[in-house]
Structure formats: structure tokens, C-alpha cells
């Protein structure tokens, strides 16, 4: 737990970690009578899941990451597992259990990969839990999640806060560099290249920094410049060019 707390305190200044944390706090301290649903959405690689993981480390909230094949029963059981409650037999009873526990404890429920709620027509179960518990539920998903939720007006109309995850900036990159390349100094021009090539993706930044760290270790370098790195590519998200057959 101590190691997790150190990691949380180190990563918290990332823009999207702070943004999600503020969203949860705003929903918890909303005025009486207002809904407790929120949405945290953005493009893949912006660090939404990372933000969710770190948001719950220093809190008593819970984070459930949906799978593409999940059913209502699977979702309910996963939430109850995180709540430390043995599931009952029916979905209706499990929804009651979840709502009762969220209402009793005041814990926020973060449902990651919430796009699968839409694809599998499971959105209404979120409304049931929210209305029974009057609790805080944050749906985390891709950039088009807000538009997709419009099909369920009774859910869409209950969402109090829509927060968009932002692309990583130089501040995020410097913080990640301090974690991924702590023993190495990176030239400013090299950092600019990484930021440009990764196009704001936190995931690609981390992968690129790890590649630089391995390169520096292999070459026994304390400082890595753009010239040292040369024409090597970073993690840009582009697929490799097709090869010509012999």
C-alpha cells in the first residue's frame, strides 16, 4: 500500500489524473437533488484508465473495467466483488445489493470501457443503480461516448458533468520522464520530438521513454540528445510500412 501511495502521489499531477479526481469530488459534493452521474471521455491512449486506477488508490472508491463480452450478471458480480459483497442469485437482487452498498458507504463507482455498456444495451442498469443509491457513478470511455449515450435519454439527462480527457502536454511528458528515465537527462530537442511524434498519447509517451531508457542503458549514456537518438522512430501509433516480397 505504501508503494501504491508513492506512485499515486508521483503521478497525480498528470493533467487527466487531476481532471478525473476533480470530477469525482464535484459529484460527491454536488447540491442536494442533483444527479450523481458523470462521464470522463477521450481518445485512446490519453491515460483515462491510468487516471481511474490512481484516483481510487488514495480513496475508498471502486474501479471496474468492462470487457467486450460482459453480461449484466458479469458486471454486477464484478462490482460486488470490488465492494466485498457476496452476490445474490438474480440480477435484480444484485442491483439492489450494489445500490445499498454505494448508498451506505458513499463510495464512487467508476465504470471503465463504458462503451461496452452502449454496445451491449446495458446502459439502463447504470440508471437503476444510480437512482436507487443516489450515489456517484462515473462512466469512462472513448471520444464518442457522449453521443452514443444520447440513445438513452433517461441516462443522458442525468449526467451532471461531462469531462473530456486532454492530450498529454510537455508538463506530462517531463513528469513521465522523471518516472521512466530517472537516471538520465533528456535533451530539450529530444523531448520536443517525443511530444510531437506521440501526439499527446500518454501510452505512447511511456513506451517511447522506456525505449530511450533502454537505449541509454545499452550505450551507457547519462544524457541522451536528439543526435544520439538519430533517425530512430518513437511510438507514433502508425503501423509499419508493408514490406516488398523478395
Q: Are 42 and 131 in the same domain? A: yes
Q: Is residue 240 part of a domain?
A: no
- 184, 213 Cβ separation under 8 angstroms: yes
Q: Are 78 and 186 in the same domain? A: no
Number of domains in the chain: 2
List, for residues 198-244, the tens digit of each pLDDT value.
Answer: 998 999 999 999 999 999 999 999 999 999 998 888 877 666 666 67
Rounded distance between C-alpha atoms, residue 90 and residue 92, angstroms: 5
Rounded distance between C-alpha atoms, residue 63 and residue 213, angstroms: 31
Rounded distance between C-alpha atoms, residue 77 and residue 60, angstroms: 19
With 0-12 / 13-18 / 19 or more C-beta atoms within 10 angstroms meaning exposed / middle / buried, residue 228 is middle
Q: Residue 23: what pLDDT?
A: 96
2: pLDDT strictly greater than 50: no
In 10 A of CB 51, how many CB atoms? Answer: 28
Q: Residue 104: what pLDDT?
A: 95
* pTM for this entry: 0.87
DSSP-derived letter for residue 220 is T
Report the CATH number that the domain containing residue 185 is assigned in CATH: 1.10.8
- 201, 168 Cβ separation under 8 angstroms: yes
Q: Is residue 107 part of a domain?
A: yes
Helix (H, G, I), strand (E, B), or coil: what is residue 30? coil
Q: Are 101 and 223 in the same domain? A: no
List, for residues 159-199, the tens digit of each pLDDT value.
Answer: 999 999 999 999 999 999 999 999 999 999 999 999 999 99
Sorted by sequence, the CB contacts under 8 Å of residue 190 that are 6+ apart come out as 212, 224, 225, 226, 228, 229
Report the CATH number that the domain containing residue 133 is assigned in CATH: 3.40.50.300
Q: Are 51 and 107 in the same domain? A: yes
Rounded distance between C-alpha atoms, residue 224 and residue 219, angstroms: 10
Q: Is residue 60 part of a domain?
A: yes
Among 144, 164, 184, the domain-final residue is 164
As a whole number, the mean pLDDT across the chain is: 90
Look up the domain containing 209 and give its range.
170-229
Q: Are 178 and 150 in the same domain? A: no
Amino acid at each position: 500500500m505504501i508503494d501504491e501511495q508513492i506512485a499515486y502521489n508521483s503521478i497525480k499531477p498528470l493533467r487527466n489524473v487531476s481532471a478525473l479526481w476533480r470530477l469525482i469530488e464535484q459529484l460527491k459534493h454536488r447540491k442536494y437533488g442533483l444527479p450523481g452521474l458523470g462521464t470522463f471521455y477521450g481518445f485512446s491512449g490519453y491515460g483515462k484508465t491510468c487516471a481511474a486506477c490512481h484516483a481510487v488508490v488514495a480513496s475508498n472508491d471502486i474501479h471496474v473495467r468492462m470487457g467486450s463480452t460482459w453480461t449484466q450478471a458479469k458486471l454486477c458480480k464484478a462490482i460486488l466483488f470490488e465492494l466485498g459483497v457476496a452476490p445474490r442469485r438474480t440480477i435484480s437482487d444484485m442491483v439492489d445489493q450494489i445500490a445499498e452498498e454505494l448508498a451506505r458507504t458513499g463510495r464512487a463507482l467508476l465504470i471503465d470501457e463504458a462503451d461496452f455498456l452502449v454496445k451491449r444495451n446495458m446502459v439502463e442498469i447504470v440508471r437503476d443503480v444510480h437512482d436507487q443509491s443516489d450515489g456517484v457513478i462515473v462512466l469512462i470511455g472513448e471520444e464518442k461516448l457522449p453521443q452514443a449515450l444520447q440513445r438513452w435519454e433517461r441516462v443522458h439527462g442525468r449526467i451532471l458533468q461531462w469531462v473530456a480527457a486532454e492530450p498529454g502536454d510537455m508538463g506530462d511528458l517531463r513528469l513521465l520522464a522523471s518516472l521512466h528515465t530517472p537516471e538520465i537527462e533528456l535533451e530539450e530537442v529530444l523531448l520536443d520530438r517525443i511530444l510531437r511524434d506521440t501526439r499527446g498519447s500518454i501510452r505512447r509517451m511511456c513506451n517511447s521513454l522506456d525505449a530511450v531508457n533502454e537505449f541509454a542503458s545499452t550505450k551507457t549514456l547519462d544524457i541522451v540528445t536528439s543526435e544520439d537518438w538519430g533517425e530512430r522512430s518513437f511510438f507514433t501509433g502508425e503501423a509499419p510500412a508493408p514490406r516488398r516480397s523478395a
